[in-house]
Each structure stands twice: as C-alpha cells, then as structure tokens.
Amino acid sequence: MFISFEGTEGVGKTTLIQKLHQHFQQKGIDVVLTREPGGTPLAEQIRSLLLSVNHDEKMANDTELLLMYAARAQHLENVIIPALNAGKVVLCDRFSDSSFAYQCAGRGLSPEKLQLLNQNFVSKMPDITFWLDAPIELGMTRARERGALDRFEQEKVSFFEKVRSGFEHIQQNEPQRMKRLDATQLPEKVFTDALSHLQSLD
Ligand code: TYD
C-alpha cells in the first residue's frame, strides 16, 4: 500500500507519519518511511537545490516543476516501486499532489504541464492520500517556530491560500483517494481519524 501525506506548512504531517509508522511496525508490517522532494541520495541533492534560498538568481517556475519531477523519477524508480513490489507499505511525506498545489495552484503553472509529467513519469499514484488541513496562519506560526525558513516557507500567506485551494480542488475531484483530515485537532485524534480511513480500505 502506498500512502501519501499532503498539506501546507506546519500542519503536523511529520507527527501523523511517525504515529502511523509506529502503528504498522507494531503490527509487524514492513514499512518504508520516505519524503519528497528527496528520499534517495540524488533526490535529496535535488531537494537542497529546491529549498535553498539563493538571492542571486530567482528559480524559474518551470525549473522548480522539472526539478520536483526529476527527484520524483529517481525516488519512484529506486525506492517507491521496489518497496511496493516487495509488499511493503510506503509512507510518503508529500507526492505529486504537492506539485499541483504548489506549482500549479500556487505558482500559476498550467495543469496541462503537470498532466504531461504525471502521464509520462509517474507510474504509480498513492492508494490513499491524507490531506492535513489547517488555517494557513496556524501552520506558518509553527513553521516559524522551527527555525530558519526555506525558500517555500518564505512565501506570503496569499501564496499558501492558493496552495490550500489546490489541495481542496484535488480532494473534490478525487474524494475516494484523498481524505481531508482536520489538522486543528489534537494529534491523537488526527491519527485515529487517519486509521479509520485505512480500516475502511480493508
Ligand atoms: P517539506 O519538507 O514536506 O516541507 P514542510 O515540512 O514545511 O511541509 O517539503 C518541502 C517543500 O517543497 C514544501 O514547502 C512544499 C514543496 N513542494 C513543492 O512545491 N512541490 C512538490 O511537488 C513537493 C513534493 C514539495
């Protein structure tokens, strides 16, 4: 099973992923914990390029999109597909829904560009995706508390509002795959909500 986790900054993805990781381990299920952009040594190098703050040259939106997919291709081939073929559960912190939300809804790139990339370079989509949804301000405060802000975290509230509406758009189009979790709740409740969605898949 391939499970991805989405949302704007600071909504508590990491906490939920850790709780689910523990849950699967306790049940004796082989589980792989990974993230995007990144998840392999080469893809992590691409992540550094994407997140680093470089004031000398603005990264073009198309470059950003293509780097996301370069990292994803590496990640799919070397980590995700082999793990799924070996019967493992894959927990992935962000996947291609983030590209729609950030690069299309956020940056304004056309969904056709993304479709082209998904059709040609994404051979496996998540079986279920958890969208952790919380007001933008709440998440940004949490992100600021974590320390230095990366290139995305430095964006304005209006950018993240667009990103959020991107996730909402996906959820409305694919309610079977994407489940919205109310991330303003206590972490334990977010976890039990996620579990009940997983149980209804069995
Ligand atoms: P992440 O480390 O998950 O950020 P956070 O912990 O703050 O949620 O992801 C890094 C950033 O990359 C995040 O700001 C969202 C962005 N991103 C995209 O813009 N497009 C993508 O396709 C992916 C996977 C991530």
**CATH hierarchy code of domain 2-201:** 3.40.50.300
pLDDT at 41 over 90: yes
CA of 150 to the centre of ligand 1 (A): 10
Domain ranges in the chain are 2-201
CA of 10 to the centre of ligand 1 (A): 11
Instruction: Indicate if ligand 1 lies below 6 Å from the C-beta of 5.
Output: no
Which of 17-26, 50-59, 122-131 is predicted with the least confidence, judged by mean pLDDT? 50-59
Asked whether the CA dihedral 39, 135, 161, 170 is positive or negative, the reply is positive
The best mutation among 64, 69, 93, 94 to test binding of ligand 1, ranked by most ligand atoms within 8 Å of the C-beta, falls on 94
Instruction: Indicate if ligand 1 lies below 6 Å from the C-beta of 126.
Output: no
pLDDT at 88: 97
Return the higher-pLDDT residue of 90 and 138. Answer: 90
The predicted-structure confidence for 12-34, as pLDDT tens digits, reads as follows 999 999 999 999 999 999 999 99
Mean pLDDT in residue range 185-201 = 95
pLDDT at 169: 98
CA of 108 to the centre of ligand 1 (A): 16
Confidence category of residue 162, pLDDT binned at 50, 70, 90: very high
Instruction: Indicate if ligand 1 lies below 6 Å from the C-beta of 102.
Output: yes
Confidence category of residue 77, pLDDT binned at 50, 70, 90: very high
Residues ≥6 apart with Cβ < 8 Å to 121: 69, 72, 73, 76
Looking from the CA of residue 37, the nearest atom of ligand 1 is 24
pLDDT at 19: 98
Residues ≥6 apart with Cβ < 8 Å to 16: 5, 130, 132, 181, 187, 190, 191, 194
